Structure 1
């Protein structure tokens, strides 16, 4: 059984109970009001007769209808019963029609009052309302007779019968209409749920998480449910797309890492095979002499060159593995240890050590006074690594000109600027430079590197709740501004700066 049908049946059942109570109440009050005047007039008429004492005889009582009675226009009948003598005396109207009222059994304390009866007449059965008054002996209180005053209530009974039919038929019609309208309203009210079911089935069959449930009507409970489900579907779609993108990025990451590792491994293996071939050659003893000396010199030169290649590729592999390890830590949610640090000594130390790195462009240290007296909450080693990444990047892409390190202060942030006059890049490539293995130059071999440095830099910046601002133009150079939030907590009395080798990453 559907919810719609259950709701309709519940509504119809409650309405049926309410209609039954209402109809019974209406019928009861109408019945009471219909007979109220008739009963009062019957009682008044009965009390108007002068009942003679038993010793004078009941049969001498005048049973003629009072012409001043309110029953003048009604069919009115009187019957007097003598229990002692067994004589029944009736009014003239009863004698003409040959009707006798039913006589109740004589009792010591009979319960008379109003009685309804269906009496047979020449015209058929007629409904009567009879008011019965017992007559007692005033001397000893014994029951001696009965006075019955009756009136035809056929019109009242017909009226009440019609009322019953009207109440029953109207109740049935109301129930039928209520059931039909209730079924329609329940369908309209539950229509959003039908849309929810259709949408979820569509998602289940087609795996299209972009489908949304249309919102129609007021923002009632179902409207809020539909709104909440749409938000949930949006979040599920975002999570699913994020997982899908992560999976694709992971595949690209593995592919690029394999490519980057394959190149140095191929170089190392080729040089080792060359060394094996060179030193495996044998010389005829008879041809010894100058040939041996020349051959040894040649072997030494080849071996030295091969060793240099092996050393360079090994360092490159070590750098790549360290970068991969750093990114793996970032992906695993690694939390670096942080403390309150003065920023000026860190930047000055990086600037001094950067001047010792090999480069073609001029290295400049600009105005760093904006950092004086300010501190940040972070990790000194990782902050130095962050600066070296951008400085080495500037060295790499600036074959001539100059590179400058400076700083600015804006509101509650410190900005460290690395500006160069190098080859720059297309501004459209800026959103991608922090992607792993992304290289702005079209050819990977154009500049040496793993393509992971800026990804690590972005992770370090995020860990320090900072941001990066990039301004660049092709053949005009690039400017990187690293923004870090100022830490206004009390500065330690003394801070010892420790050296680090992270500039080699």
Structure 2
């Protein structure tokens, strides 16, 4: 069942109930007033019949014929004598051979209205009867009954009831039809919402938006909410798509980085196998001829170079695997073990070890006094790795010139500032330098490295609730400022 039909049925049922209550109130109000007026007339007629004395049955002229009509309605009068059983009736009762039912004297009838029925022809009619006991000297001697048949009133009330029922049914039917039209018009924007969502469901374009309805009602609020939800879904979908692309790029780049040292190692191993095979064959020939094995200086040099290459490439692979492991831990939500770290002592240790790194640029240490007495809540090993990443990058991209480390403090933060006078970075590439496998020199091989260092550095900074600022200019060098919160506990 559609929402439009349900709303219309509810509306129609409520209207039918309201009409039923209204019609019932109107009918019973008119019925009560109608019968009450008739009763008052009957009672008034009874009061006009004055009956006094002890011999009223013989001498009293009730003048029933002259007093038996009220505004065109037949009034029926009956006088009962309990002493001798005599009953006097008005002319209309005599003509129709009718008697108004009356109680026995032993029942001692009460004064007031009673419900009676009379039969005229073959039909029964209700009669409104007002009876008045006649008492002389505290003795019941008779009963005066005045009645009227409310035929016209009943016909009028029956017609009123039918009219109310027919009018209510017509009103409900008309309201139902109009309600369907109104509900259809009111819910038309909702149908547009359904059509739009279905089109989005069938397609993959999340940029589609539902048109705003002309009136800002509940449906308008629903449309705004759905459009906002679609915007968030589109953003989330785009982020997932970007993450998927980054994942594919990550796998591709990792495969590329791992393939290079593996190719080198495999090539050198093949070379060693060939050399070993040649040496073995020569040894067999010499053994057969009982001569001395000649020494080949070239074989020794090639073997030494091959072993050196294998060692270097194995070290490179070990570094790459360690970097991948660090990033895998970051993706898995790895939580570092942290403690209070003396930043000044840590920095001095890094400065001493940095002097031993391979480099062409000079290594300069600026003012580090701002770090004296400062502690940060962190992991000492990862903080050292963080500094070495930026220092090694400085040496790598500074073929000549200098790399400088200095410190600064501002409010509740301390900063390491690593600057170089090297190649610099294109400003358009700066937002991507912390992406995995991203290389500012797009042609691989210009500088050594895996492109994972800055991604790991960014993870370490984030884990320490810090931030990093980059200032660079192509051909003039770069400056990285690492801010970390100071631990005052």
- Normalising by the residue count of structure 1, what TM-score does the alignment of the two structures yield? 0.81
SS at the partner of 1:377? Answer: strand
User: Could you list the per-position Cα deviations for residues 419-473 of structure 1 after superposition, in whole angstroms to 9, with x for gaps in the alignment?
Assistant: 1111112100111111111111131011111111111111111111111111112
Indicate conservation of the 8 Å contact 1:417/1:482, yes or no: yes
RMSD of aligned alpha carbons: 3.7
Mapping 1:226-245, distance limit 5 Å: 230=227, 232-245=229-242
Partner of 1:450: 450
Indicate conservation of the 8 Å contact 1:420/1:479, yes or no: yes
Mapping 1:299-338, distance limit 5 Å: 299-338=299-338
What is the distance in 1 between the residues matched to 2:179 and 2:372? 77
Mapping 1:451-490, distance limit 5 Å: 451-489=451-489
2:246 paired residue among 227, 246, 249: 249
What is the distance in 1 between the residues matched to 2:475 and 2:99? 128
Indicate conservation of the 8 Å contact 1:419/1:480, yes or no: yes
Distance of aligned partners of 1:150 and 1:322 in 2 relative to their CA distance in 1, 3 Å threshold: closer
Greater alpha carbon shift after TM alignment, 410-419 vs 237-246: 237-246
What is the distance in 1 between the residues matched to 2:144 and 2:58? 10
Shift of 1:387: 0.9
Partner of 1:502: none
Indicate conservation of the 8 Å contact 1:338/1:379, yes or no: yes
Shift of 1:265: 1.3
What is the distance in 1 between the residues matched to 2:272 and 2:60? 160
Shift of 1:79: 2.7
Distance of aligned partners of 1:189 and 1:101 in 2 relative to their CA distance in 1, 3 Å threshold: farther
Shift of 1:391: 0.8
SS at the partner of 1:437? Answer: coil
Distance of aligned partners of 1:223 and 1:378 in 2 relative to their CA distance in 1, 3 Å threshold: farther
- The question of 1:369 aligning with 2:369 is answered yes
Distance of aligned partners of 1:100 and 1:37 in 2 relative to their CA distance in 1, 3 Å threshold: farther
What is the distance in 2 between the residues matched to 1:340 and 1:192? 62
SS at the partner of 2:488? Answer: coil
Mapping 1:74-113, distance limit 5 Å: 74-75=72-73, 77-82=75-80, 84=84, 87-90=87-90, 94=92, 98=95, 103-108=100-105, 109=107, 113=113
Partner of 2:341: 341
Shift of 1:357: 1.3
What is the distance in 1 between the residues matched to 2:80 and 2:330? 118
User: Could you list the per-position Cα deviations for residues 270-312 of structure 1 after superposition, in whole angstroms to 9, with x for gaps in the alignment?
Assistant: 12222233343355769x89x945xx21112222222221121
Partner of 2:392: 392
Distance of aligned partners of 1:425 and 1:130 in 2 relative to their CA distance in 1, 3 Å threshold: closer
Partner of 1:355: 355
Partner of 2:136: 138
What is the distance in 2 between the residues matched to 1:219 and 1:414? 54
- The question of 1:175 aligning with 2:179 is answered no
Partner of 2:420: 420
User: Could you list the per-position Cα deviations for residues 381-415 of structure 1 after superposition, in whole angstroms to 9, with x for gaps in the alignment?
Assistant: 11110111111111111111111111222232222
2:199 paired residue among 202, 206, 216: 202
What is the distance in 1 between the residues matched to 2:299 and 2:114? 143
Distance of aligned partners of 1:118 and 1:400 in 2 relative to their CA distance in 1, 3 Å threshold: farther
User: Could you list the per-position Cα deviations for residues 191-244 of structure 1 after superposition, in whole angstroms to 9, with x for gaps in the alignment?
Assistant: 666555445543443244444555645565x66666555555555444444333
Indicate conservation of the 8 Å contact 1:338/1:377, yes or no: yes
Gaps of 5+ in 2: none
- Normalising by the residue count of structure 2, what TM-score does the alignment of the two structures yield? 0.83
Partner of 1:406: 406
1:280 paired residue among 277, 281, 297: 277
Indicate conservation of the 8 Å contact 2:342/2:373, yes or no: yes
1:147 paired residue among 141, 145, 149: 145
Shift of 1:31: 2.2
SS at the partner of 1:444? Answer: coil
SS at the partner of 1:163? Answer: helix
SS at the partner of 2:417? Answer: strand
Partner of 2:266: 269
Distance of aligned partners of 1:77 and 1:323 in 2 relative to their CA distance in 1, 3 Å threshold: closer
Distance of aligned partners of 1:64 and 1:105 in 2 relative to their CA distance in 1, 3 Å threshold: closer
SS at the partner of 1:57? Answer: helix
Indicate conservation of the 8 Å contact 1:106/1:143, yes or no: no
Indicate conservation of the 8 Å contact 1:45/1:149, yes or no: no
Shift of 1:18: 3.2
Number of residue pairs matched by the alignment = 476
Indicate conservation of the 8 Å contact 1:375/1:486, yes or no: yes
SS at the partner of 2:356? Answer: coil
Indicate conservation of the 8 Å contact 1:376/1:485, yes or no: yes
